[in-house]
Amino acid sequence: MRNFHYPGRSNVLSTKGIAATSHPLASQEALSILKMGGNAIDAAIAASAVLCVVEPNATSIGGDCFAIIAPKGKNPVSYNGSGINPKKAKLSYFIENNIKKIELESPHSVTIPGAIKSWESMHLDYGKLDFEKLFIKAIEYAEDGFAITEKVAENWRENAIKLNKNINTKKIFLKNGKSYKFAEKHKNPALANTLKRISKKGSKEFYNSDITEDIVQTLNELGGLHTIDDFNMQKTIKSKTIFSPYKDTLLHQCPPNGPGITVLIMMKMMENYEVKNFSPMSFERFHLEAEITKLSYKLREERIGDPNFNELNLEEILSSHFLDNLIDNISMDSCHNVGNLNIPAHPETVYLTVVDKDLNLVSFINSVCYAFGSGITTNKTGILLQNRGVNFRIEENHPNSIDSLKRPLHTIIPGMVFNKEGEAIISYGVMGGQFQPVGHTHFLNNVIDYEMTVQEAIDFPRGFHFNNQYQLELGVSNDVEKKLNSVGHKTVRTKSPHGGGQAIKIDYKEGVLIGGSDPRKDGCALGL
């Protein structure tokens, strides 16, 4: 339990339903949907729609989505709503045109947005309320305006130069050429009209209508290769989750092209150490986390990509024999050098989770990749477009090499934890781009090994070893930092905290739902 002498948050408790999101308006809307008779799936979609309006820095209907749904707390299902690359965007095109990498604000960075298609797919499978009802509040906030929260205002300010580069973006997301500030109101009436149409006619209105034409025209004018046919080919991948045991639990993730496999690799490596024998705030814990991060991320860069384009033996990668060879590189007295992986950072995402009275669980994440995505907004429809294509590599024989209709290696990952009886006990996720697998591992160690509450586990200080720097939050002790440097780590104090996060735990014995939300963002957990 938390120390009440210090500022902090208490866990939120409920017996009838709970939602945890990165923005209070989204959490409120999720509860409103539950009160209306909707289930967790309805509530998650409605909350995400609100977030696409009130957190444009982090998400949009022009972005992607991944989710795990566990109906009545059992048999989890993965939904991969990541976007395909345009058909014309072949590796040969970029080589022939001497394009060495996909730039952050290039139309080539925009893959086909997958969010709306995935929302509809989830709703058709499990939703209770009419699809139209899930957009009411999002439309209202886009049409009438909403007040900008502190974290969102900070991201807005940091990206003012980017928002000035595109004429449509400048018109909608800047005020007299300057970023919107904390407590100022923002509106996007063009997006409100777009949401109205999607709510009434479904995903076909996004993927095959004049809305589609507007997106394609906007990108083509900037040199993009997108066509309406590309949008018609976008599909949501519904599948079984991938999972791996850890202690007395089963850890569930979405399959690649999501990076959930990295979490499973990291946790299997962690199981070779008795983490709980180290203090949560100790050199040993942070050093081990960094070394496992380096090896796991290197493996990901070398082996993981869209499985439709790469042979990928997940069973082999998760085998003890395979991982033991990696673990042999770890010493508690020195740092292993994996070289410069040169991985793009992109820190912006929204994560939410909802559990309803029937114990339907949703772990749900939606993103535009970098802050404000590509910075490209459509000419007429108010849609801010993602830049997930920056994850592609322009090099032959790389698992994440750019190609026609290929999905890039992703960063967004929803997670769930099950007990050995097959019951879901925790729905969780973290935000923060490439940090996410580390954030998952950190959270899981906190909950499972250190027996923290979900709020304590979310709050606990974080570090992230990334591109040869160990980026430590201010909450990591000076003593830990000194010891890390003494064995060869290059530590820095990160300007911004790592990501954010939400989680809900189910206490089956008491019939209680326990929720937490990260103070690193503006969100909250709310219960019925």
Domain match, 518 and 385 both: no
Is residue 215, in this structure, part of any structural domain at all?
yes
pLDDT at 345 over 70: no
> Number of structural domains, the chain?
2
pLDDT tier at 347, thresholds 50, 70, 90: low
Q: 367 and 58 in contact (C-beta within 8 Å)? A: yes
Whole-number percent of the chain with pLDDT over 70: 99
CA–centroid distance for 394 within its chain: 24
Instruction: Give me the amino acid identity at 520.
Output: R
Mean pLDDT of the chain: 95
**Residue 356 covered by a domain:** no
Whether 398 is in a domain gets the answer no
From the CB of residue 383, how many other CB atoms can be counted at a distance below 10 Å? Answer: 29
CATH of the domain at 322: 3.60.20.40
Is 348's pLDDT higher than 90? Answer: no
Q: Is residue 352 part of a domain?
A: no
- Shared-domain flag, residues 88 and 141: yes
Cβ atoms within 10 Å of 10's Cβ, excluding its own? 12
Residue 346: is its pLDDT beyond 90?
no
466-475 tens-digit pLDDT: 888 999 999 9
pLDDT digits (tens, 9 = 90+) for 149-200: 999 999 999 999 999 999 999 999 999 999 999 999 999 999 999 999 999 9
What number is the average pLDDT over the span 215-236?
98
Shared-domain flag, residues 278 and 154: no
What's the confidence (pLDDT) of residue 338? 79
Question: What is d(CA 195, CA 206) in angstroms, rounded to the nearest whole number?
Answer: 9
Both 159 and 208 in a single domain?
yes
Query: Is residue 53 domain-shared with residue 82, that is, in the same domain?
Result: yes
Residue 57 lies in a domain: yes
Written as six digits, the tokens of 124 are 């058709």
Please say whether the dihedral angle defined by the alpha carbons of residues 405, 410, 413 and 418, taken in this order, is positive or negative. Answer: positive
8 A C-beta contact, residue 418 and residue 250: yes
In terms of domains, do 225 and 122 share one?
yes
Residue 417 · residue 428 · CB < 8 Å: yes
Whether residue 9 is contained in a domain is answered as no
Indicate whether 340 pLDDT > 80. Answer: no
Residues 252 and 341 in one domain: yes
**Dihedral angle of Cα 457, 463, 465, 467, to the nearest 10 degrees:** 120
pLDDT for 513: 98
106 and 44 both lie in a single domain: yes
Mean pLDDT of all residues in 32-47? 98
Asked about 21 being catalytic, the answer comes back as no
* 61: CB partners within 8 A, 6+ apart: 49, 52, 113, 115, 116, 191, 194, 195, 198, 206, 383
Task: Write down the H helix ranges in 223-282.
Answer: 228-232, 260-270
What is the model's pLDDT at position 314?
85
Domain that holds residue 183: 23-236+366-391
| HEC sequence for 20-39 | EECCHHHHHHHHHHHHCCCC
| DSSP H or E run through 91 | helix 91-96
H-assigned helices in 304-336: 314-317, 320-327
Q: What pLDDT does 344 receive?
A: 67
- 293/373 same-domain check: no
Q: Are strands 491-493 and 500-507 parallel, antiparallel or unpaired?
A: unpaired
The answer to the question of residue 470 being in a domain is: yes
User: Are the CB atoms for 294 and 338 separated by under 8 Å?
Assistant: yes
3-class DSSP state of 444 = helix
> Looking at the domain assignment, is residue 271 inside a domain?
yes
Give the C-alpha distances (Å, rounded to integers) separating 319 from 257, 269, 342: 20, 10, 27
Q: Are 527 and 504 in contact (CB under 8 A)?
A: no
- Note whether 179 and 111 are same-domain residues: yes
> Cα–Cα distance between 401 and 301 in angstroms, integer?
11
417 and 471, same domain (yes or no): yes
- Residues 426-433 have a mean pLDDT of 94
Same domain, 324 and 377: no
Contacts of 382 by beta carbon, 8 Å cutoff, 6+ apart: 142, 172, 188, 189, 190, 191, 192, 193, 194
The one-letter amino acid code at 181 reads: K
From the candidates 194, 236, 349, 353, which is the catalytic residue? 349
Residues 283-330 have pLDDT tens digits of 999 999 999 999 999 999 888 999 999 888 888 888 888 888 889 999
Going by pLDDT thresholds of 50, 70 and 90, the confidence category of residue 483 is: very high
